[in-house]
Amino acid sequence: MERIPILKMGDYLLVTIQVDMHDRLAMTLQDDLTDRIATTRARGVLIDISSLEIVDSFIGRMLGNIAAMSRVLDAETVVVGMRPAVAITLVELGLSLPGVRTALNVEKGMSLLQGVGAEQENLNGRGER
């Protein structure tokens, strides 16, 4: 079955969506990611959508679901690389991705995740996980 690869890098999971996703593929990614967050105990998920030419309400909902599910599993999600035309369209469509953190590119997204991780550690005073 067709799947979008999920890479593990340290405490983080990286996903680059490079295909025009049909709806079942999007659902599979959502399920796979939540599984991987649980099994790898990832602290963060970075989703690169710079190849996506559109984000419609279905994909928008998937991104929101992934962010919500990963938060429940104690991981942060950052969506990076949204094209400007996609952002304009998304807002006009009526979707502003509430609850989804975004960053301009992978580098900024990564430092956002690392910043959030460090902040939480200070708050909780927790060490390894």
Partner 1 sequence: MAVVKDETMSIRSSEDVVRVRQVARELAVSQGLGLVDQTKIVTAASELARNTLDHGGGGTVRLEAINSEMRRGLRLTFEDQGPGIPDIELALKDGYTTGGGLGLGLSGARRLSNEFEIFSRVGEGTRVTITRWK
Contacts of 127 (CB under 8 A, 6+ apart): 121
61 scored as a contact of partner 1 (CB under 8 A) = yes
Q: Which amino acid is at 70?
A: S
Is residue 100 part of the contact set for partner 1 (CB under 8 A)?
no
Between residues 60 and 117, which has the closer beta carbon with respect to partner 1? 60
CB 78 within 8 A of CB 85: no
Residue 96 in contact with partner 1, rule: CB under 8 A: no
| Contact pick of 1, 3, 10, 53 for partner 1 (by CB under 8 A) | 53
| Calpha distance 21→30 (Å, rounded) | 12
Instruction: Tell me the two tokens of residue 32.
Output: 């796979």
Q: Which chain residues interact with partner 1 by CB under 8 A?
A: 20-24, 53-58, 60-61, 83, 85-86, 88-90, 92-95
